[in-house]
Amino acid sequence: MADLPPTADLNTLRTLIDRVDRELLALLNRRASLAQAVGELKKKEGSVVFRPEREAQVIDGLKAVNTGPLMTESVAPIWREIMSACRALETPTRVAYLGPAGTFSELAALGYFGNSIVRIPCVSIDEVFRTTSAGAADFGVVPVENSTEGVVARSLDLFLTEPLFIIGETSLFVRHNLLRKHNTLQGIEAVCAHPQALAQCHGWLSNHLPNVERRPVASNAEGARLAAEDSRLAAIASDRAASEYGLHVLSPGIQDDPHNRTRFAIVTHPTRHPQPKSSGHDCTSLVVSVTNRPGAVHDMLVPLKQHDVSMTRFESRPARSGQWEYYFYIDLQGHPDDAKVAAALKELRAVCAFFKLLGTYPIDVH
**Catalytic residue list:** 262, 264
| 119 neighbors 138 (Cβ within 8 angstroms) | no
DSSP code string of 33-90: HHHHHHHHHHHHHT--S--HHHHHHHHHHHHHH--SSS-GGGHHHHHHHHHHHHHHHH
Count the helix, strand and coil residues of the chain and give each as a percent rounded to the nearest 5: 40, 25, 35
Residue 212: how many other CB atoms lie within 10 Å:
15
Q: How far apart are CA 113 and CA 115, in angstroms?
A: 7
**DSSP 8-state symbol, 276:** P
Q: How many CB atoms lie within 10 A of CB 304?
A: 19
Q: Which of 116, 119, 123 is nearest to 96 (CA)?
A: 119
The vertex-53 CA angle with 49 and 56, nearest 5°, equals 110
Q: Contact, 147 vs 262, CB < 8 A?
A: yes
Task: State whether residue 151 is helix, strand or coil.
Answer: strand
208 in Cβ contact with 165 (< 8 Å):
no
The answer to whether 340 touches 259, Cβ cutoff 8 Å, is: no
Closest-CA residue to 310 (of 350, 241, 363): 363
* Cα separations in angstroms, 104 against 148, 196, 209, 221, 348: 15, 12, 24, 8, 35
Q: Dihedrals φ, ψ of 73, to 5°?
A: -70, -10
Contacts of residue 306, Cβ cutoff 8 Å, sequence gap at least 6:
344, 347
